[in-house]
Amino acid sequence: MSQTVGGYEITKEVGKGIFGTVYEARRGQGELTYALKKLRLGSRDADEVLNQLKALQAIQKEARDTEVPILRLVEFLHQDDAFWLVSRYCDEGSLSDFLLLHPETDENQNVKFMMQIAEAVKYLHRKDIVHGGLTMNNVLVCSQFGGFVRGRTVMKYTIKVTDYGIAQMSAEDIFLHYYYRYDTPTRFYTAPEVQDGIYTKESDIFSMGAIFVALTDRTPLKIGDHHSIVPFIVPDIPFGQALNTSPSRIRLSEVAMQDYSRKDSLKTLVMSMLSTDPKDRPTAEAVSERVQAIGNATGAMAGVFLGIAIAVGGALMGLWPLFLVGLLGGLMSFYLLIQG
């Protein structure tokens, strides 16, 4: 017999995290699919959680008008002594699942994902919300129809950062064990200072840097029954833990993002996000600005190559208007590139 919670019919269990269990659900005759997360709060006081959820909802209402890529609550339900968080169902699952299924994702797409993640963290920090558990698992991917190319359907992928502020809602016994558990990839994203019980906005920046490394390096690791993409140095030693024990011996720039030159602007940014001392890390606002600039430059570079290809094609075929379009497009992209 299927279970119904507040009018939502649960269709299947999607997975379990430390803070609760996620179910897929439907409501009425509608086509929409929802995700229902039943929170595991431990000994935490229900009234306190209720207040925190209301505060989160108020902030989300504001975010609705600004297209910030965070997953919003449709509503939350308090039933049978449990809190259920209702949100949109993201059909592609977590970013880690997505990358395992779509290994062909290109550098352009990587930078787009980075821009969206940085935008979400910038928004949360501006609202004084520390995420508290940023990993590839808390970044979900939603797909939507993106048009047709050569008769084939093309999907457009967008990111939704989820589970912000949830870690702080749980009881301390759950919270303290969260960051260094061996049965989830979380510890690979945990900042070094968290080992000393400190978690701040700067710790979120470290975790975001670790996500960026995982995105570029794509190292898969089997944890329990699941494969996950992790930012990885040598087998089984997470960045944060390694930096906490022997910061001077770890040269992250030599082991992470090896395909990027030492001076590459993306690599320089990510390495600063992974600084051992939280004070040396950039703010979310600065990360967002710099990733945006890198994205613009990547786009402009692609424009230069496309312009050259069109101009050469036009010249070879004697189609001079096409040559001119390619030449002008290429020059314009080049101008944007040197300006950026």
Ligand X SMILES: Nc1ncnc2c1ncn2[C@@H]1O[C@H](COP(=O)(O)OP(=O)(O)OP(=O)(O)O)[C@@H](O)[C@H]1O
Q: Is residue 278 part of the contact set for ligand X (CB under 6 A)?
A: no
The single residue among 60, 116, 137, 298 that binds ligand X, judged by CB under 6 A, is 137
Q: Is residue 8 part of the contact set for ligand X (CB under 6 A)?
A: no
Instruction: Report in angstroms the alpha-carbon separations of 122 from 116, 214, 233, 279, 284.
Output: 10, 20, 27, 17, 5
CA 239, 129, 280: angle at the middle one, nearest 5? 40
Token pair of 279, please? Answer: 């004070």
Q: Rounded to whole angstroms, how far apart are CA atoms 287 and 277?
A: 17
Would you put residue 264 in left (φ > 0), alpha (ψ -120 to 50) or beta? beta
In the complex, minimum distance from the CB of residue 178 to ligand X, in angstroms, rounded to a whole number: 7
Q: Which stretch binds ligand X (CB under 6 A): 12-20, 61-69, 216-224, 260-268?
A: 12-20
Q: Is residue 221 part of the contact set for ligand X (CB under 6 A)?
A: no
139 forms beta bridges with 161
- The rounded Cα 308 to chain-centroid distance in angstroms is 34
Instruction: Report in angstroms the alpha-carbon separations of 132 from 22, 165, 166.
Output: 19, 6, 8
Nearer to ligand X, 17 or 340 (CB): 17
- 184 three-state secondary structure: coil
Neighbours of 128 (CB within 10 A): 8
The single residue among 8, 25, 35, 230 that binds ligand X, judged by CB under 6 A, is 35
In the region spanning residues 295 to 324, those forming contacts with ligand X, defined by CB under 6 A, are none
- 223 three-state secondary structure: strand
In the complex, minimum distance from the CB of residue 275 to ligand X, in angstroms, rounded to a whole number: 24
Q: Is residue 93 part of the contact set for ligand X (CB under 6 A)?
A: yes
Q: Is residue 89 part of the contact set for ligand X (CB under 6 A)?
A: yes
Instruction: Name the residue type at position 75.
Output: E
Nearer to ligand X, 70 or 114 (CB): 70
The single residue among 69, 132, 133, 209 that binds ligand X, judged by CB under 6 A, is 133
**Residue 266, CB half-sphere, CA atoms under 13 Å: how many?**
26
In the complex, minimum distance from the CB of residue 124 to ligand X, in angstroms, rounded to a whole number: 16
Phi, psi of 35 (to 5 degrees): -110, 130
Residue with tokens 């094609």: 313
Q: Is residue 140 part of the contact set for ligand X (CB under 6 A)?
A: yes
Q: Is residue 138 part of the contact set for ligand X (CB under 6 A)?
A: yes
Nearer to ligand X, 18 or 250 (CB): 18
In the complex, minimum distance from the CB of residue 90 to ligand X, in angstroms, rounded to a whole number: 4
In the complex, minimum distance from the CB of residue 220 to ligand X, in angstroms, rounded to a whole number: 16
Q: Rounded to whole angstroms, how far apart are CA atoms 295 and 292?
A: 5
Q: Rounded to whole angstroms, how far apart are CA atoms 178 and 195?
A: 11
In the complex, minimum distance from the CB of residue 136 to ligand X, in angstroms, rounded to a whole number: 9
Q: Rounded to whole angstroms, how far apart are CA atoms 321 and 319?
A: 6
16 is in an annotated binding site: no
The single residue among 5, 9, 11, 14 that binds ligand X, judged by CB under 6 A, is 14
Number of residues that bind ligand X (CB under 6 A): 23
Nearer to ligand X, 37 or 281 (CB): 37
Footprint of ligand X (CB under 6 A): 14-15, 17-20, 22, 35, 37, 71, 87, 89-90, 93-94, 133, 137-138, 140, 162-163, 184, 186
Output the known binding site for ATP: 37
